[in-house]
Structure 1
Amino acid sequence: MKSAAEQLSTYKSVHLNRRNIQTHFIGIPLIIWSAFLLLATIRVPLGNLGETSLGLILGGLVLVYYVRLHVKLALGLTLFLIPVLYTTELVAHFAYAVWLALAIFIVGWIFQLIGHRYEKAKPAFVDDLNQLLIGPFFLMAEVYFMLGLEKSLNEQITSIAIEKRRMLEAQKAR
C-alpha cells in the first residue's frame, strides 16, 4: 500500500490551483453524501441482529483504510463521516432517496469538473481509481494544513506534487 504522502502528493499534483481546491470543498462532500445515501438504500440482513446498510459497512471499511494511511487525518474523517452516515441513514427510508442521491451526485461532479477547468489538468482518478478514495483524505489534509497542523506532511507532499506536475506537463508537451 502506498503511503499517505505518496497518495496525497499524487492527488495534489493535479490540485494545485486554489479555485480547483475550493470547488472540491463543495463537490467532494456532495458526492460522498450522495454515494452514502445510495448505499444506505441497500439493506444487508444480519440474522438475529436485524439489518444494516451497505453504506454503514463500506463507511467502516473506508475508515479502516484511512486509519492505515494516517491516524490523525482518519480522526478528522471520522468526525466528518459520522454525520454523513447518520443523515443518509435517515433519508434512505424516503421514497425519493435514490433520485435525491443521483441529483446531488451530478451536482457534485459538476463542481469537480468546473474545478478541473481552472486547474487545466485531468482528475487524479483518471489514471488511478484509488484516487477516488483519496479525494476526501486530501480535503481533510487541507483542513489540517489550514489549521497549521501536519506542517511537515504539507511541505513533503507539496514539493513532491509540484515535481509530479512538472513531469506531467513535460509529458503532455511532447
Structure 2
Amino acid sequence: MKSAVEQLSTYKSVHLNPNNIRTHFVGVPMIIWSAFLMLGTLRSAWQDYQVSVAMVLTLVVLAYYTMLHVRLAIGLVLFIIPVLYTTEMVVHTEHPMLIALAVFVIGWVIQFVGHQYEKAKPAFMDDLNQLLIGPFFLMAELYFMFGWEKELAAEIKPLARDKRRALEAKLRGK
C-alpha cells in the first residue's frame, strides 16, 4: 500500500491551482454524497436492522484512511458520518436515485471545470485509487489551512511539484 505522502503528493500534483482546489471543495463532497445515496439504496436485512452498501463502504473506507493517516481519518469520520446520516434520510424519499444522479452529474461538472483551471487531467484517470484519495486530499488541505500537519504539508508540496514537472515534461516530449 502506498503511503499517505505518496498518495497525497500524486493527487496534489494535478491539484496545484487554487481555483481547481476550490472547485473540488464543492464537487468532491457532492460526488461523495450522491455515491453514498446511490449505495444507500442497496439494502439488506441483518438481524433487526437494514444495512446498506453505503454503511459497509463507510467502514471499509474509514479503515483505509486510518491505515494511511490516523489524524486525517478522524476529520474524515467527522465528514462521512453526516454524509451517511443525510443520505439515509433521503434514501427513504420518493426518488432517491434521481436525486443522487442529479447531484452526481453536477459534482462532476464542477470537477471538470476545476481541471480547466489546472490544465491537467484528473488524478483518477491514471490511477483509480485516486478516487478514494480525493476526500483524503481535501481533508489534508483543510488541516493545512488551519495550520495543522505542517510536516505532512512540507513533505507533500515538493514531491507534488516534482511529479507535476515530470508529467509536463512527458507531455511536451510526446
- TM-score for both structures, normalised by structure 1: 0.98
Report deviation, 1:45: 2.3
Residue segments in structure 2 that go unaligned for 5+ positions in a row: none
Percent of counterpart pairs with the same letter? Answer: 61
The match for 2:107 is 108
The match for 1:49 is 48
| 2:8 is the counterpart of 1:8 | yes
Name the SS of the counterpart of 2:44 in structure 1. strand
Report the Cα distance in structure 1 between the residues aligned to 2:116 and 2:13, rounded to whole angstroms: 15
The match for 2:145 is 146
Name the SS of the counterpart of 1:128 in structure 2. coil
| Amino acid of the structure 2 residue aligned with 1:53 | S
The match for 1:97 is 96
Report deviation, 1:115: 0.3
Report deviation, 1:51: 2.1
Measured against aligned partners, the alpha-carbon deviations of 1:35-70 in whole angstroms (never above 9, x if no partner) come to 000011110221x23321111110111000000000
The match for 2:160 is 161
| 2:20 is the counterpart of 1:20 | yes
Q: Could you say what the CA RMSD is over the residues aligned between the two structures, in angstroms?
A: 0.6
Name the SS of the counterpart of 2:121 in structure 1. coil
| Amino acid of the structure 1 residue aligned with 2:13 | S
The match for 2:67 is 68
| Amino acid of the structure 2 residue aligned with 1:136 | P
| Amino acid of the structure 2 residue aligned with 1:21 | I
Measured against aligned partners, the alpha-carbon deviations of 1:76-96 in whole angstroms (never above 9, x if no partner) come to 000000100000001101121
| Amino acid of the structure 2 residue aligned with 1:141 | A
| Amino acid of the structure 1 residue aligned with 2:12 | K
Report the Cα distance in structure 1 between the residues aligned to 2:49 and 2:39, rounded to whole angstroms: 17
Report the Cα distance in structure 1 between the residues aligned to 2:52 and 2:101, rounded to whole angstroms: 18
The match for 2:34 is 34
Name the SS of the counterpart of 1:122 in structure 2. coil
Residue segments in structure 1 that go unaligned for 5+ positions in a row: none
Report the Cα distance in structure 2 between the residues aligned to 1:67 and 1:49, rounded to whole angstroms: 29
The match for 2:85 is 86
Structure 1: which 4+ aligned runs deviate by more than 3 Å?
none
Report the Cα distance in structure 1 between the residues aligned to 2:101 and 2:120, rounded to whole angstroms: 26
| Amino acid of the structure 2 residue aligned with 1:13 | S
| Amino acid of the structure 2 residue aligned with 1:117 | Q
Measured against aligned partners, the alpha-carbon deviations of 1:82-111 in whole angstroms (never above 9, x if no partner) come to 100000001101121000000000000001
